[in-house]
Amino acid sequence: MSECTHDCSSCGENCGERTEPQSLLKPHNPAARVGKVYGVVSGKGGVGKSMVTSQLAVLARRAGHRTGILDADVTGPSIPRVFGVHRRAMADERGMLPVETDTGIGLISVNLLLDNETDPVLWRGPIIGGVVTQFWTDVIWDVDYLFVDMPPGTGDVALSVFQSIPLDGIIIVTSPQELVGMVVEKAVKMAEMMSVPIVGIVENMSYLLCPDCGREIPLFGQGKTLAAADAHHLRLLARMPLDPVLARLADQGRIEDFQGQWLAPVAEAVLSGE
């Protein structure tokens, strides 16, 4: 046995002096003010977490709340682009300052720190996890609601977020394909292991709305998300269609101009604390 450091949180020995592990949650910057924090997660990539995160922030801002987005998807950051933000984040003696969008939503993302936003982030997992933690501990947030755009899956960075940031809840994003049950179960089990409440589920790319007759066309088949939600006693809060208008505005960096209300039930659940 190595010499005891009396830090049971980092020790695997089962000795007589062992106590309960210490919390790994980190305090935010002393100059910051942070209200509720919600993570947007999925068990796989490509389901639209960033789109959901962006729209939730926009809806919360329209409701009159100070809102921010912490882009934890370090190797695939897209949040600044959909808001049309290309400025560098600045800092002062107190810490790092979020970059604000046209409507006043605060953003922090690795793309706001790079010399060229198209440069790849060739960092190993522990370094990426450390950067995400610093986005919480070093940034001077002034928000009522902070949304964390999580990386896909349940790896190092997701674990860093769950362990370091005191999440008030998570929203799980899925798509309608058959493997949705497995994707949801992975996210649910991680949330349960980390004792984080689940607000509910959003099914993205649920259907295409016919521009002529208004009929819903399920391009990927009938969604299995409701069955997965029922299996875990969760709420299916919203079904988002494939919307060409939303896609075009995101490509143009004008996500704040989108007027769709697909995620209004999700925003209501978050803002009401249900």
Question: pLDDT: is 43 or 240 the higher one?
Answer: 240
Give CA–CA dist 51/247, Å, rounded.
9
11, pLDDT greater than 50: yes
| 147 class by beta-carbon count within 10 Å (0-12 exposed, 13-18 middle, 19+ buried) | buried
pLDDT grade for 170, boundaries at 50, 70 and 90 = very high
Question: pLDDT: is 20 or 235 the higher one?
Answer: 235
Q: What is the mean pLDDT of residues 250-269?
A: 94
The CA-CA-CA angle for residues 105, 198, 249, to 5°, reads: 35
Q: What is the pLDDT of residue 60?
A: 97
Q: What is the pLDDT of residue 61?
A: 97
81, pLDDT greater than 90: yes
SS3 of the chain: helix, strand, coil, percent, to 5 = 30, 20, 50
Q: What is the pLDDT of residue 18?
A: 47
Q: Mean pLDDT for the chain?
A: 85
Share of the chain above pLDDT 70, in %: 86
Query: Which residues lie below 8 Å from residue 47, measured CB to CB, with a gap of 6+?
Result: 152, 173, 174, 175, 183, 204, 205
Rounded to the nearest 10 degrees, the angle between the axes of helix 156-164 and helix 180-193 is 40
59, pLDDT greater than 90: yes
Quick one: tokens of 257? 């101009």
Q: For the chain, how many helices (H) and strands (E)?
A: 8, 12
**Which pairing describes strands 106-108 and 33-41: parallel, antiparallel, or unpaired?**
unpaired
Which stretch of 34-38, 54-58, 66-70, 163-167 has the lowest confidence by average pLDDT? 163-167
192, pLDDT greater than 80: yes
